């Protein structure tokens, strides 16, 4: 294992040097109208009703032609450091058995991608949520809050990113439903995916819970959703479900939404990848996501023991937001739709994305 780790580090040497250059780069602010608070001030609740405040000429546009801010791995603000490591993370599980006192804090530093709770994200203007759902065996879980909470003994669905969250799926979705009752012209996109170790019964139970909770607020996939159409029908939720057998049985659910991401910790490579996708593939016909999130690898973690995903992301945000400012929503091949990021509450990311819709208004005014 030690030899393998050394080989990984050697192979990733160029990437490490690239990250070193990012970390030593002087902090700078992006050239938009919003100041990026590198110390964590960031977003406010001023975007809680931004969809209802869009100009009337945009109300009949398809939602996939608007610019919509989203959060990557939306639920990682409440990771449970005492929960089991996901069985799919074989290397982490091995390390966790050897040195849990080192492994758990390290996982937390690199798996946490958000710091604001779901309702705060909604208030900040986030309308797309990346919900990675997992089965958690409570009976085999020791020393966690859930192990001592009998009311949760039958609630096995949580969110996960290497480890599980403290908040259950039902609790999070219920919070969203309550918020939507207070903001009846706002529309959210819930991307349910991954489904670690879910049984067929848990899939059916989850879909039943979603349909009962949101009811007529669900927009079926046969529709071409626009603000005006959703408002007239009382629809506020587009639920994407990454499971083909379930989709065949439930027409109220949408298929997986394409998510473009570079799989790199270098913001310049993230931008290059997104621009290459725009140039070579063009935007999909319906909803799609441009991911600004940075991804890590073992060598980066080993060579920067005091670095966190938050520090790396905040250092990279000015460059990424500069790219966002230059984007335009709409039906054109190079247009954007949903733009996702990490730590959405620590910058004015949501406001920057929402403001792109003004370009649509200008386009209509010139016609």
CA–CA dist 227, 136 (Å, integer): 37
Contacts of 272 (CB under 8 A, 6+ apart): 262
- Altogether, the residues listed in the chain come to a count of 367
Distance CA 165, CA 318 (A): 29
Grouping H, G, I as helix, E, B as strand and the rest as coil, residue 214 is helix
Q: Burial level of 93, CB count in 10 A (0-12/13-18/19+)?
A: middle
Here the tokens at position 64 are 């996939």
Catalytic residue (one of 161, 194, 250, 366):
161
Which residues, other chains included, contact 358 with Cβ-Cβ below 8 Å and sequence gap of 6+?
none
Distance CA 215, CA 229 (A): 17
For β-strands 157-161 and 128-135, DSSP reports them as: antiparallel
Query: Contact 128/188 with Cβ under 8 angstroms?
Result: yes
Residue 250 known to be catalytic? no
Task: Label residues 165-194 b or e (16+ Cβ within 10 Å = b).
Answer: bbbbbbebbeebbebbeebeebbbbbbbeb
- 286 near 331, Cβ under 8 Å? no
Is 161 in the active site? yes
Active site residues: 72, 161
């Amino acid at each position: 294992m030690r030899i393998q780790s050394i080989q990984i580090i050697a192979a990733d040497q160029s990437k490490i040097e690239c990250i070193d250059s990012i970390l030593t780069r002087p902090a700078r602010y992006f050239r938009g109208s919003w100041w990026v608070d590198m110390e964590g001030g960031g977003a406010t609740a001023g975007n809680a009703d931004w969809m209802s405040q869009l100009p009337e000429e945009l109300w009949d546009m398809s939602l996939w032609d608007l610019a919509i801010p989203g959060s990557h791995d939306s639920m990682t603000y409440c990771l449970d450091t005492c929960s089991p490591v996901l069985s799919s993370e074989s290397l982490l599980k091995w390390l966790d058995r050897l040195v849990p006192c080192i492994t758990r804090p390290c996982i937390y530093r690199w798996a946490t991608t958000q710091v604001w709770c779901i309702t705060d994200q909604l208030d900040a203007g986030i309308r797309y949520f990346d919900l990675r759902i997992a089965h958690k065996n409570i009976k085999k879980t020791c020393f966690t809050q859930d192990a001592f909470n009998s009311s949760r003994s039958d609630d096995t669905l949580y969110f996960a990113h290497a480890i599980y969250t403290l908040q259950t799926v039902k609790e999070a979705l219920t919070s969203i439903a309550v918020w939507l009752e207070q903001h009846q012209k706002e529309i959210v996109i819930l991307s349910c995916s991954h489904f670690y170790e879910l049984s067929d019964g848990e899939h059916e139970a989850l879909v039943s819970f979603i349909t009962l909770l949101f009811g007529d607020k669900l927009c079926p996939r046969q529709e071409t959703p626009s603000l005006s159409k959703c408002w007239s029908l009382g629809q506020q939720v587009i639920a994407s479900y990454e499971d083909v057998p379930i989709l065949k049985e439930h027409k109220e659910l949408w298929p997986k939404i394409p998510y473009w991401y570079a799989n790199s910790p270098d913001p310049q490579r993230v931008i290059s990848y997104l621009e290459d996708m725009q140039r070579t593939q063009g935007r999909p016909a319906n909803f799609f996501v441009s991911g600004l999130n940075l991804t890590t690898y073992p060598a980066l973690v080993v060579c920067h023991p005091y670095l966190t995903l938050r520090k790396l992301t905040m250092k990279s945000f000015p460059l990424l937001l500069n790219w966002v400012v230059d984007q335009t929503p709409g039906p054109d091949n190079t247009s954007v739709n949903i733009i996702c990021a990490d730590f959405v509450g620590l910058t004015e990311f949501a406001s920057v994305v929402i403001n792109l819709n003004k370009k649509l208004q200008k386009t209509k005014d010139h016609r």
